[in-house]
C-alpha cells in the first residue's frame, strides 16, 4: 500500500515557524496542525532556501 505524501500550505509553513520560535516542540506543533510528525521534522530539517539539484553531466563530444 502506498503512503500519501502531505504537502504543507503556505499558512502552515508560517504557523510552524511561529510556533517553533515560540518554543513549541515538534511533537506539539504536529498535534496542533494535525500533521504527521515525520512531515514536520523533514520540513524543519530542510534548508530554508532549497538548493538547485545537480543535473546530469553532459557528454563531451570532441572530434578527433
Q: pLDDT digits over 2-58, tens only?
A: 555 568 888 998 999 899 999 999 999 999 999 999 989 988 888 777 667 777 777
Beta carbons within 8 Å of 61's beta carbon, 6+ residues apart: none
Is the overall model pTM greater than 0.75, yes or no?
A: no
Give SS3 for 34.
coil
Euclidean distance between CA atoms 33 and 2, whole angstroms = 23
* All three cell numbers of 41: 521534522
The reported pLDDT for the residue numbered 22 is: 95
Beta carbons within 8 Å of 9's beta carbon, 6+ residues apart: none
Amino acid at each position: 500500500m502506498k503512503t500519501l505524501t502531505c504537502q504543507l500550505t503556505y499558512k502552515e509553513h508560517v504557523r510552524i515557524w511561529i510556533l517553533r520560535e515560540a518554543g513549541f516542540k515538534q511533537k506539539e506543533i504536529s498535534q496542533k496542525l494535525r500533521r504527521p510528525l515525520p512531515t514536520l521534522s523533514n520540513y524543519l530539517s530542510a534548508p530554508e532556501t532549497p538548493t538547485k539539484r545537480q543535473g546530469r553531466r553532459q557528454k563531451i563530444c570532441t572530434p578527433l
